């Protein structure tokens, strides 16, 4: 009889061999260039993460961009901006297009570079030289001029807030031709040249008059232009009442410090604004942004406003699907998940950690699927009691408070196999950096081995792996029963629901990008 120990491994012979190593050193499967670019476009912030530096991320993006055709490159930039609400990566991909295909750049530019912040980022990246050119060039210069010509006075005024480069710097670079006397006066005011005060847009004239007199109502300008001045409680209250939904969410502690919440009627009005469902949808708010606002609201922020944030969370998570059959959600609570979700950047590191998002996704699924099982894991599954009737934020906090060990993404599947369970859908939320279950070179990953065991008991089971960091590898390759998703927004829930209902050999993520129209109708603000 042949050596039993030697040939026992043949039980896993049909598991595809791992083709790469992840950033933690564990075996993994290399994603295709398209899948990898889509992943980094939906998750990358070009900042240092737990395992990878910002410089390495940039190198990877540029390498991947060089491997795909310009149609896919343009569609990825469009998808990452419009569906993923990303900023730096779509601007970077547009800068790459400026060196490869100016026709494709012209098609997507107005839809990707859709506000002043995006315009400044695009110009900054292009002039840095990282994509192969250090000047704008005639075609990008024309696109920037056209952006300025299309922009309303209000859009330009909002675009004027920010530096490196500032809007004034950009105007000096591209020399736009003002189509009206009012726009000519605005450019003069912006770049410090002579202008006719009477021809300025009304809100700017009001702003200049108010700066001198400090009388009357506050001018209708971006609040950052006002907060640079010395203001009293009345002015701050007026700013809060007139502020956009996102501005209110981001400045609750600031408003509290300046006495805005001493007015109970003002608290009621701001609470109604934060909880307004249509306002939440228009703001395109990430659920984790609401989590940040809730967790970091100081004691001076009234309870009514905290409740309004929880109401807004319910709206932001309204796309969470109700899945037929049994569901298991596996949030990664290992040590590397303590890293900031958007990476580490000096002076601008996000308070939101990857583990916070993992907890949020798990709690959201539990809210809509009351019978779902939640299996937090690090080196092993961690028991955390959760009540489906508790708020999403409450359960998310409980999950984020545990863990800290090594990463073993196969642990929940092994836990299910040991108990003979075979759910219909298993959802992982992780940084994908599994290393504790690393197998010998030439073998498949521990996750895929455990998944195939589970599939023997339920051939219809499906696996979804949500990756929160810009990886180019996966622990289980895409297939009819396996879906790898990059990033987290409300769109992720739509993709999961569609996959759970059908399944496809082609990644729905890639399908969504490739089906994107390159020249969609231009939205007007």
Same domain flag for 208 and 262: no
Q: Identify any residues that bridge with 486 across adjacent strands, giving them in sequence order.
A: 467
Mean of pLDDT values over 206-212? 90
Element (H, E) at 374: strand 373-374
Mean of pLDDT values over 170-194? 94
- Predicted local confidence at residue 498, as pLDDT: 77
Give the whole-angstrom CA distance, residue 229 versus residue 217.
15
Strands 462-467 and 482-486: parallel
What mean pLDDT value characterizes the chain?
A: 85
Per the structure, the count of domains in the chain is 3
Same domain flag for 248 and 374: no
pLDDT tens readout for residues 371-414:
899 999 999 999 898 888 888 888 888 888 887 788 999 999 99
Lowest mean pLDDT among 104-113, 133-142, 435-444: 435-444
Any domain includes 36: no
Region of 122 on the Ramachandran plot (φ > 0 left; ψ -120 to 50 alpha; else beta): alpha
Give the whole-angstrom CA distance, residue 474 versus residue 511.
18
Any domain includes 2: no
Same domain flag for 207 and 241: no
Q: Measured at the alpha carbon of residue 402, what is the angle toward residues 400 and 403, in degrees to the nearest 5? A: 110
pLDDT tens readout for residues 466-524:
888 777 888 888 888 998 887 666 567 777 877 888 755 556 667 778 887 777 655 54
Dihedral, CA of residue 100, residue 102, residue 103 and residue 109, to nearest 10: 110
Any domain includes 3: no
Any domain includes 39: no
Q: Which residue has the higher pLDDT, 524 or 43?
A: 43
- pLDDT surpasses 80 at 100: yes
Check whether the bond before 165 is cis (ω within 30° of 0). yes
Domain extent for 382? 319-514
Same domain flag for 379 and 302: no
- Predicted local confidence at residue 291, as pLDDT: 84
Which residue among 260, 284, 316 closes a domain?
Answer: 316
pLDDT-derived band at 525 (thresholds 50, 70, 90) equals: very low
With pLDDT > 90 as the criterion, what percentage of the chain qualifies? 45
Any domain includes 370: yes
- pLDDT surpasses 60 at 7: no
Same domain flag for 211 and 241: no
Mean of pLDDT values over 226-240? 87
- Predicted local confidence at residue 506, as pLDDT: 54
Most trustworthy range by pLDDT among 130-134, 169-173, 335-339: 169-173
Which residue among 301, 316, 331 closes a domain?
Answer: 316
Any domain includes 468: yes
pLDDT tens readout for residues 10-30:
444 467 888 788 877 888 888
- pLDDT surpasses 90 at 251: yes
Same domain flag for 198 and 229: no
Any domain includes 330: yes
Give the whole-angstrom CA distance, residue 475 versus residue 188.
56
- Predicted local confidence at residue 289, as pLDDT: 80
Q: For residue 486, what is the domain's CATH number?
A: 3.40.50.410
Asked if 386 and 363 count as a contact pair (C-beta separation under 8 A), the reply is yes
- pLDDT surpasses 70 at 368: yes
Same domain flag for 448 and 499: yes
Same domain flag for 390 and 500: yes
Any domain includes 193: yes
Same domain flag for 367 and 480: yes
Distances (CA, A) of 307 to 200, 391, 471: 42, 11, 36
- pLDDT surpasses 90 at 83: no
Same domain flag for 242 and 264: yes
pLDDT tens readout for residues 44-81:
666 666 556 778 878 888 999 999 999 999 999 998 89
Which residue among 316, 335, 353 closes a domain?
Answer: 316
- Predicted local confidence at residue 3, as pLDDT: 55
- pLDDT surpasses 80 at 217: yes
Same domain flag for 507 and 432: yes
Mean of pLDDT values over 122-139? 91
Same domain flag for 172 and 239: no
pLDDT-derived band at 130 (thresholds 50, 70, 90) equals: very high
Length of the chain: 525
- pLDDT surpasses 70 at 442: no
């Amino acid at each position: 009889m042949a050596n039993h120990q030697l040939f026992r491994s043949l039980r896993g012979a049909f598991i595809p061999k791992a083709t790469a190593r992840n950033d933690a050193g564990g075996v993994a499967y290399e994603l295709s260039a398209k899948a990898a670019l889509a992943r980094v476009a939906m998750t990358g912030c070009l900042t240092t993460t737990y395992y990878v530096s910002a410089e390495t991320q940039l190198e990877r993006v540029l390498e991947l961009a060089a491997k795909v055709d310009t149609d896919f490159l343009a569609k990825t930039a469009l998808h990452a901006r419009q569906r993923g609400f990303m900023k730096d990566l779509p601007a970077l991909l547009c800068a790459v297009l400026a060196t490869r295909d100016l026709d494709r750049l012209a098609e997507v530019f107005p839809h990707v570079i859709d506000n002043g912040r995006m315009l400044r980022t695009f110009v900054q990246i292009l002039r840095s030289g990282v994509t192969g050119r250090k000047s704008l060039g005639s075609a990008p210069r024309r696109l920037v001029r056209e952006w300025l010509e299309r922009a309303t006075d209000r859009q330009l005024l909002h675009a004027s807030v920010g530096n490196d480069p500032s809007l004034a710097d950009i105007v000096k670079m591209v020399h736009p031709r003002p189509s009206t006397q009012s726009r000519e006066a605005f450019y003069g005011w912006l770049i410090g040249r002579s202008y006719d005060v009477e021809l300025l847009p009304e809100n700017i004239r009001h702003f200049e008059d108010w700066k001198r007199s400090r009388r009357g109502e506050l001018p209708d300008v971006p609040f950052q232009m006002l907060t640079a001045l010395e203001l009293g409680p009345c002015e701050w209250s007026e700013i809060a009442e007139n502020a956009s939904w996102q501005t209110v969410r981001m400045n609750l502690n600031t408003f509290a410090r300046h006495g805005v919440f001493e007015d109970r009627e003002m608290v009621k009005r701001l609470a109604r604004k934060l909880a307004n469902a249509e306002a939440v949808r228009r703001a395109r708010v990430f659920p984790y942004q609401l989590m940040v606002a809730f967790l970091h609201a100081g004691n001076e922020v009234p309870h009514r406003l905290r409740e309004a944030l929880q109401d807004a969370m319910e709206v932001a998570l309204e796309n969470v699907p109700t899945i037929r059959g049994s569901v298991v959600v596996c949030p990664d609570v290992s040590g590397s998940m303590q890293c900031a979700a958007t990476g580490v950047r000096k002076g601008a590191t996000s308070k939101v950690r990857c583990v916070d998002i993992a907890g949020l996704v798990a709690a959201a699924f539990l809210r809509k699927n009351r019978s779902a099982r939640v299996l937090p894991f690090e080196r092993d599954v961690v028991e955390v009691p959760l009540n489906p009737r508790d708020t999403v934020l409450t359960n998310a906090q409980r999950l984020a408070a545990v863990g800290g060990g090594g990463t073993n993404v196969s642990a929940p599947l092994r836990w299910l196999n040991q108990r003979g369970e075979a759910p219909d859908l298993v959802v992982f939320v992780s940084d994908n950096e599994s290393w504790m279950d690393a197998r010998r070179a030439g073998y498949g990953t521990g996750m895929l081995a455990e998944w195939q065991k589970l599939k023997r008991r339920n051939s219809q089971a499906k696996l979804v792996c949500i990756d929160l960091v810009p990886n180019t590898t996966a622990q289980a390759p895409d297939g009819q029963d396996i879906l790898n998703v990059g990033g987290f927004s409300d769109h992720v829930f739509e993709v999961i629901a569609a996959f759970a209902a059908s399944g496809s050999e082609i990644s729905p993520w890639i399908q969504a990008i490739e089906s994107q129209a390159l020249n969609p109708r231009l939205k007007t603000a």
